[in-house]
Amino acid sequence: MDKDELLLPFVLLVILSLSALTAPALSSNEVESLSTRLDTLPTVDIGEPLVVTGTTNRAEGTQILVTVKGPVELVPAIVRVENGTYKATFDTSAAQEGRYVITVDDGEGHTSEAMVNLREPLPEQTPPVRTEPPAPSPSPTPGVTPLPTVRPTPTPEAKVPGFEAGFALAGLFTVYLIRLRRN
């Protein structure tokens, strides 16, 4: 084998490697998968509206089926996608207390589920009504002498010892300094 025969495969390998690095991939279209997502729901009192919201990357106007199933199945709702979101409102007045599964379906197999609890509304708390007792009448009761009110005599608080001695020493020291200065 001569030198030129060995050089040809090497040159072809270099050319193929460089073209693979610089050329774009043949099928580089990235397609995002279609999806729907439900927002988190709080516990709802029966009789209050159940508002279901979510987001999707489906096209504007796409219809989404929203179902609510639990102890009672609520009437399904069909809503349209607007600005990447959807919203459905359900009447819960005929519902029973319990856990419900909310399902959204775009009709093409893309679904999402969430749970919500429906409960009986809590009874309203009425504040207790305060009634004032009737004021005592100022008329004296015959034959009863009022007892004198006994007030305890205050006990003097014990002073912390040492402050008086400190002031006395400071005064003596000041007098000493004044005498020293005069001399």
| Distance in angstroms (rounded) separating the CA atoms of residues 118 and 75 | 15
In a domain, 54, yes or no: yes
Q: Which domain holds residue 114?
A: 36-119
Instruction: Please state whether beta strands 111-119 and 77-80 pair in parallel, antiparallel, or not at all (unpaired).
Output: unpaired
How high is the pLDDT of residue 176? Answer: 81
In a domain, 86, yes or no: yes
How high is the pLDDT of residue 140? Answer: 57
Indicate the number of domains in the chain: 1
The phi, psi pair for 181, rounded to 5°, reads: -70, -40
How high is the pLDDT of residue 87? Answer: 95
In a domain, 44, yes or no: yes
| Distance in angstroms (rounded) separating the CA atoms of residues 106 and 81 | 10
CATH number of the domain that residue 50 is part of: 2.60.40.10
DSSP 158: P
* Terminal alpha carbon distance of the chain: 123
Model confidence over 115-129: pLDDT tens digits? 999 999 877 766 677
| Distance in angstroms (rounded) separating the CA atoms of residues 109 and 103 | 12
Residues in the chain predicted with pLDDT less than 70, given as ranges, are: 1-34, 125-127, 131, 133-147, 156-163, 165-167, 183
In a domain, 57, yes or no: yes
In a domain, 63, yes or no: yes
In a domain, 97, yes or no: yes
Model confidence over 75-98: pLDDT tens digits? 999 999 999 999 999 999 999 999
